[in-house]
Amino acid sequence: MTQTEHLNKLQVTKNSFECSVTTDIAVFGYLDGELKIMLCKRQVGTSRKNWLLPGGALKKDETLEGSAIKVLNILTGIKDVYFEQVKVYSKLDRHPIKRVLTVCFYALVNPEKHPLVLGETVEGIKWFAIDQLPSSIGFDHRELIMDSILYLRNNIKTQLMAEELLPSKFTLQELQIVYENILGSKLDRRNFRKRMLQLDIFENTGQKKLGIKGGPYFYSLK
């Protein structure tokens, strides 16, 4: 340890305040033709009013990312998903009882690949369309959700998210709907198709999706 680090250590230990830290995860998935977000009702109890993002306390031997992954798996059975840090929330009164600092992540899942398994303390899990959130959302989680959507919206411009959100075979319309949901606006169908196909990462499987007029082809990642 260098001197500087030694002194810095003193700096930290002298100011001995320590803080509970939690992670909350905004999980997005494409379901029933819409972009949705997963919310939970936690624990059994007489009043189960509020929906919450899945989340939990950081433990001694965990990184934030590790904690988020573990917590999500324990509560919902989901694993191996795409994660991204959104923001930290540190307002003094975010939690009614004690000071809690929360790091929010967002995750993208393809619900088809991630069957839900209710964790012990989980009363219920439900997917909500992002423009039809329930009115009863606990703590400041509505703010976390809104911020996560903003981050997602910004990231879609540069990053491709189809792989994470969509089933392995999908029609171009389904892909377009995901984009429109995230961006919150309508896109021109021809221009969208052209742009996506120019990326040269999708291929036409030759199969058509049945039950839909027009007979759209399924596409998959190359």
Partner DNA sequence: CCAAAAGTGTTACGATTACACCCATGT
Partner DNA sequence: ACATGGGTGTAATCGTAACACTTTTGG
Q: Contact residues for its own copies (CB under 8 A)?
A: 1-9, 11-15, 17-22, 41-43, 45-50, 52, 56-65, 85, 87-88, 90-92, 95-101, 103, 121, 138-139
Site for DNA contains 45 (CB under 7 A): no
Residues 145, 211: Cα–Cα separation, whole Å: 35
End-to-end alpha carbon distance in the chain: 50
Q: In the complex, what is the shortest distance from the CB of residue 56 to its own copies, in angstroms, rounded to a whole number? A: 7
Site for DNA contains 6 (CB under 7 A): no
Dihedral of the alpha carbons of 79, 73, 37, 136, in degrees to the nearest 10: 180
Site for DNA contains 208 (CB under 7 A): yes
Q: Which one of DNA, its own copies, none is in contact with 43 (Cβ closer than 5 to 8 A by kind)?
A: its own copies
Residues 88, 103: Cα–Cα separation, whole Å: 4
Vertex 55, ends 51 and 58: CA angle to 5°? 155
Site for DNA contains 216 (CB under 7 A): yes
Site for DNA contains 214 (CB under 7 A): yes
Indicate the residue among 134 and 215 with the shorter CB distance to DNA.
215
Return the range that interacts with DNA (CB under 7 A); candidates 32-40, 92-100, 144-152, 165-173. Answer: 165-173
Q: Which one of DNA, its own copies, none is in contact with 171 (Cβ closer than 5 to 8 A by kind)?
A: DNA
Name which position in 112, 131, 188, 203 contacts DNA (CB under 7 A): 188
Q: Which one of its own copies, DNA, none is in contact with 34 (Cβ closer than 5 to 8 A by kind)?
A: none
Q: How far is CA 208 from CA 77, 139, 169, 172, in A?
A: 32, 46, 10, 12
Which residues, 6+ apart, have CB-to-CB distance to 28 below 8 Å? Answer: 35, 36, 37, 38, 106, 107, 108, 109, 130, 148, 152, 165
Q: Which one of its own copies, DNA, none is in contact with 101 (Cβ closer than 5 to 8 A by kind)?
A: its own copies
Largest Cα–Cα separation, the chain: 73
Q: In the complex, what is the shortest distance from the CB of residue 222 to DNA, in angstroms, rounded to a whole number? A: 16
Residues 177, 175: Cα–Cα separation, whole Å: 5
In the numeric block, which tokens belong to residue 178? Answer: 């995901």
Q: Which residues bind DNA (CB under 7 A)?
A: 171-173, 188-191, 193-195, 208, 210-217
